[in-house]
A and B are shown apart, each in its own frame.
Chain A
Amino acid sequence: MKTLAFLLLAATAFASELTTFEKELQRTVRRVSPTIVAMYATDGRGPRGTMSVFSGVVLDAAGTILTGQETLNRKWRREIFAVYPGGSRPVKVRIKHKDAIGFALLEPLERPRPTPRSARAITTDATLPGTPVVLVGAIWGNDGFGDPSASWGTISSIAKDGTMRASTRLNLGTKGAPLFDLKGGLVGIALRERNGETVVLPYERVREKYKSIPNTRARKLGTGVADALTLVVEEAAARARHAVVGVFAKGLPPGSGIVVAPGFVLCSARSLVTPGAARAATPIHVRFGAKPQAEATIVAWDARLRLALLKVDTPKDCKPLSIAPRPNRGQFAIAIGHPQRVTAGIIGRHGALRDLYPAFDAIHTDAHVSVAHAGGALVDTRGRLIGMIMHIDDTEKHSYRTQKHHARYGESTGLGFVIPMSRITPLLPRMKNGIHFTRPYLGVKSRVHSKGLLVEATRGKSPSGNATPAHTAGLNAGDVLVKLAGRKLVTRHDLQIALHEHTVDDAVDLSFLRDGQTITKTVTLCGR
């Protein structure tokens, strides 16, 4: 008896919020898995014929299944089978009702045994962008349907046509699968994937069209960890959304921007970083929420970080966000893009690679961020701004003008890079006054040496005709660069970082070795 009490005590002592959170998630998945049905439609020709696989959810004790209508619209379809949970063999089902808004209701031709569990639907007025959801479906693998697979994401946005977008991903077999909130309440079904997101039809839209299915219940948030997380993520998204705007320029894909000060918007500007490109892109339009577009002008850009500061009339209720302190690894982060894309994840790493230009000190997150999020905000659980979302995609080079790009416009690789505000804030005062930041040019060809960087060759004039710092300092081949602007130079990447921290016309100290002597000279950095 005493050992039992001791063990119980020990167990509670070790129960952290994380283990509690895990238990809650496990319970939710356990509760909803018995409502998932794996289905396949065949053309009647047996194993050698055509087959499509999809999922659905059970709504009542009779075994009525709700699924997406798309996969049923195949001319070759003759028979549909459903594998009810716990059942040993597939049951033939037929279509009870099909609707153009995207859903279908199926009923079994024989009573499924054992009696399947029904899902409990909740009203969706409680689900906001940011609500964490779990997609549970039957993924089709080499060995047929396995146990239901669960993956989580967030409700990313609510579209005008009444559907929602979620940041979960559809895999083979999960079309038509249901999405639940973290408490196990049915929110809707997955219709298809579009731009890297799942299009979700809310259960309420289904019930509007077909009354003979169970009604929804209001969502009740309890005091568990999952409830707390749901509430906090929704609240953070609600607090920060007003500060994220849409930026539209000719010839560029729609992007996002952040209000950093009254009248100023910061946006991602991969190509707007030369005078010619800036001219070609005007007029630039900024959209605040659902309001009509306002015209903006480019005040300054940073060619190293590839962002631009725009001047635009910001509405009175559009206050800039407060800045978050330096985030820790493992902290939750919410990515917000325009018009309404909200995804969540954790901070994977702070301080990116030395040789990953220009993301030297970028923050990494696994919240799904895509090209649409570029220029948007990453906020913490209190809605404070962590940084601006960049989009660095290592898997392909984006071509903004091709069809191919637009097809992949929304997709995420699962790896997002964010420029921390600590890097951006010092630049703003100068940028507001119209000072551009461009990559400085040293005019030196160097290679790694045991004592620093050995100068192999120097250039007196930059390609655009400016006198280079190498020329002003009187550098010769054979000198060894030791320090630039206070940064010790060990590899060429250190040189890149040192240059990256400064801009054209900055005066910096350059130290180098010549004939055993260290010489320090102050040079003015020039542009390319």
Chain B
Amino acid sequence: MRLVAGVLLCCALGAHADEWEDAIARVDALQADIAELIESVTPTVGAVSNYGAELDINTGRVALKLAGMGSGVVISSRGLFLTNVHVIEGAGYLDVALHDGVYRASVFGDTASGVKKGDIAVLQLHGKKKFAHSDWRKGQMARLKPGSVAFAVGNPYGHARDGKPIVTMGIITGKGRAASQRGYLYLDAIQTDAEINPGNSGGPLFDVLGNLVGINGLGRFRKDRKGTGVGYAIPIDQIRTFLREIIKNKGDVAYGYHGLRFDARIKGAYIVRVDPGSPGEKEGLARRDVVLKVNGKKVTSPAEFANIAGKLPEGTVIRLQVRTGKRNRNVRLKLAAAPVTLLGKRSARRAGEHGHLGFWWRSTGRGIFVDRVLDGTGAADAGLQEHDELLAIHGETVTSLKRLRSTLETLEPGELVVVKVARGGETIERVVELCDAGRQAGLEE
């Protein structure tokens, strides 16, 4: 009897061992697939560092303080880089660290306000002719269903600022979600439980085929900004609509504005107010109208309406079917740019955008003296030396720090100014080309 039991046990254990052999083989294959996918997409992901330059008026040293950080993804071989607006907000000096180095980045296009409401920002990277990029045209939203696997790649807490991004894996929890934080509104967003922490913002979300399907931007955080397993990403179809416009217009594209206001507590997409002067008013929409269909799709709540109509660029025409009283009618509404108050003002001129003389100084009771001339600046080219006493800049006498500060505030990088110094009893005048504070004066430790 014991023999039989023993044999059965051995068979069972053997069967279990075989089961495990098969299982580990499959898991090894799964891991190999994941590793291959990660290695193919991570070269396109970069860590964004947003520095503000602070001039210390006592010494002339410029300190680059890290004002913000996030992630982003390269989307074209020419170096277009996709990230969130709130990462580059108050855009000072932007550095993007990719796997092969740190590249300077500037906001793409002429204006700097970005698409604030929807949190999509495009940067231009400088420094290389061809960049490894993720194709923004390939991601398919229809493939993503609850349970789909997704990879979030980015720079959580700044731990990838050397250009080697960190990958987290999770599943798609849901689609079509709305979330908002600090003035940024995400509509029709993807919700995922891949760990999204501060610093992951702007970073890409990839599906199992390695296609870009979203840009992570918002996470629900607990106290002290710990991730909770709920993260929101802007879906790629929304990004595509805006990217085409941004590239065509070479810059800023606003989210479309219709001016219709709804009440979520009343059944259906019931209009309670139409903003005066808005496209909605122009088309004759008024209180008590109910929106039945948008672009052919039935809408039964304000949230559904926002998910379709709230995420389109200005200038788009939407077709609405509206019931007024007892009649249905069709309306064509052209979305306008939102009024300035909604988008926010352009950030004030950033510190450090002023011209820098190219040397550090020290201020004593007897005057201001050159302490150290920085390599590669206009001051070095002009032959200024340590211990020169600063007398005048650009025709203004600058023998006190207060005068120096007020003079510097009027000057821009690249300007040529005449600097008058005293050296060994002689007065010397030199033409100095002012340099960019953040780029040239602030990089030494």
**A and B assemble together:** yes
Q: List the B residue with the shortest CB-CB distance to A25.
A: B147
| A330 CB–B CB distance under 8 Å | yes
- Please report which residues of chain A, range 470-503, place their CB below 8 angstroms from some CB of chain B when the two chains form the complex: 491-492
- Please report which residues of chain A, range 63-110, place their CB below 8 angstroms from some CB of chain B when the two chains form the complex: none
| A28 CB–B CB distance under 8 Å | yes
Query: Using Cβ atoms and an 8 Å threshold, which residues of chain A touch B228?
Result: 169, 171
Query: Using Cβ atoms and an 8 Å threshold, which residues of chain B touch A345?
Result: 168-169
Nearest Cβ distance between residue A57 and chain B, in whole angstroms?
A: 16
CB < 8 Å: which of B19, B149, B168, B177 contacts A414? B168
| B240 CB–A CB distance under 8 Å | no
Q: Do A228 and B444 touch across chains, with their CB atoms under 8 A apart?
A: no
> Which stretch, B24-32, B117-125, B380-388, touches the partner chain A?
B24-32
Q: Do A353 and B159 touch across chains, with their CB atoms under 8 A apart?
A: yes
Q: How many residues of A contact B (CB 8 A)?
A: 69
> Which stretch, A3-11, A147-155, A306-314, A518-526, touches the partner chain B?
A147-155
A221 to B157, CA, bound (A): 39
Q: List the A residue with the shortest CB-CB distance to B220.
A: A171
Query: Using Cβ atoms and an 8 Å threshold, which residues of chain A touch B220?
Result: 171
CB < 8 Å: which of A231, A331, A332, A415 contacts B19? A231
CB < 8 Å: which of B27, B145, B146, B197 contacts A229? B27
Q: List the B residue with the shortest CB-CB distance to A347.
A: B167
| A142 CB–B CB distance under 8 Å | yes
Given A225-B30, A448-B444, CB of A152 within 8 Å of CB of B265: no
Nearest Cβ distance between residue A474 and chain B, in whole angstroms?
A: 25
Query: Using Cβ atoms and an 8 Å threshold, which residues of chain B touch A491?
Result: 445
- Please report which residues of chain A, range 3-24, place their CB below 8 angstroms from some CB of chain B when the two chains form the complex: 16-19, 21-22
**CB-defined interface of B314-340 with A at 8 Å, one 1/0 digit per residue?**
000000000000000000000000000
Q: Do A330 and B35 touch across chains, with their CB atoms under 8 A apart?
A: yes
Query: Using Cβ atoms and an 8 Å threshold, which residues of chain B touch A146?
Result: 174, 176-177
> Which stretch, B37-45, B358-366, B405-413, B432-440, touches the partner chain A?
B37-45
Query: Using Cβ atoms and an 8 Å threshold, which residues of chain B touch A18?
Result: 30, 33-34, 37, 149, 208
Q: Do B30 and A151 touch across chains, with their CB atoms under 8 A apart?
A: no
| A329 CB–B CB distance under 8 Å | yes
Query: Using Cβ atoms and an 8 Å threshold, which residues of chain B touch A450?
Result: 375
Given A348-B167, A447-B444, CB of A30 within 8 Å of CB of B159: no
Q: Do B26 and A228 touch across chains, with their CB atoms under 8 A apart?
A: yes
**CB-defined interface of A168-180 with B at 8 Å, one 1/0 digit per residue?**
1101000000000
Q: Do B197 and A415 touch across chains, with their CB atoms under 8 A apart?
A: yes
**CB-defined interface of A342-370 with B at 8 Å, one 1/0 digit per residue?**
00011011011110100000001010000
Q: Do B33 and A17 touch across chains, with their CB atoms under 8 A apart?
A: yes
- Please report which residues of chain B, range 11-63, place their CB below 8 angstroms from some CB of chain A when the two chains form the complex: 19-20, 22-24, 26-35, 37-39, 42
CB < 8 Å: which of A30, A139, A152 contacts B171? A152
A351 to B445, CA, bound (A): 24
CB < 8 Å: which of A30, A168, A229, A328 contacts B35? A328
CB < 8 Å: which of A19, A381, A412 contacts B31? A381
| A272 CB–B CB distance under 8 Å | no
**CB-defined interface of B257-270 with A at 8 Å, one 1/0 digit per residue?**
00000001100000
| B164 CB–A CB distance under 8 Å | yes
Chain B: interface size category? 35 or more
Once A and B bind, how many residue pairs between them come within 8 Å at the CB atom? 205
| A394 CB–B CB distance under 8 Å | yes
Q: List the A residue with the shortest CB-CB distance to B226.
A: A413
Which of A33, A329, A412 has the most chain B CB atoms closer than 10 A to its own CB?
A: A329
| B77 CB–A CB distance under 8 Å | no
Q: Do A29 and B145 touch across chains, with their CB atoms under 8 A apart?
A: yes
Q: Do B177 and A141 touch across chains, with their CB atoms under 8 A apart?
A: yes
Q: List the A residue with the shortest CB-CB distance to B156.
A: A415
Q: Do A329 and B39 touch across chains, with their CB atoms under 8 A apart?
A: yes
Nearest Cβ distance between residue A382 and chain B, in whole angstroms?
A: 7
Which of B26, B29, B37, B170 has the most chain A CB atoms closer than 10 A to its own CB?
A: B26
| A281 CB–B CB distance under 8 Å | no
| A223 CB–B CB distance under 8 Å | yes
**CB-defined interface of B116-146 with A at 8 Å, one 1/0 digit per residue?**
0000000000000000000000000000011
Given A149-B146, A329-B38, A447-B444, CB of A348 within 8 Å of CB of B166: yes
- Please report which residues of chain B, range 360-377, place their CB below 8 angstroms from some CB of chain A when the two chains form the complex: 375
Q: List the B residue with the shortest CB-CB distance to A227.
A: B23
Measured CB to CB, the residues of A under 8 A from B are 16-19, 21-22, 25-30, 33, 47, 134, 139, 141-143, 146-152, 168-169, 171, 221, 223, 225, 227-229, 231-232, 235, 328-332, 345-346, 348-349, 351-354, 356, 364, 366, 381-382, 394-396, 411-415, 447-448, 450, 491-492
Measured CB to CB, the residues of B under 8 A from A are 19-20, 22-24, 26-35, 37-39, 42, 145-149, 156-157, 159-162, 164-171, 173-174, 176-180, 191, 193-197, 208-209, 220, 222, 224-230, 264-265, 301-303, 375, 444-445
Can you give 14 contacting A-B residue pairs, CB < 8 Å? A17-B33, A142-B303, A149-B146, A152-B170, A171-B228, A231-B19, A328-B31, A329-B42, A329-B167, A381-B27, A395-B224, A415-B166, A447-B444, A447-B445
Which 7 interchain pairs have the tightest Cβ spacing? A29-B147, A414-B195, A151-B193, A330-B34, A228-B26, A228-B23, A143-B303
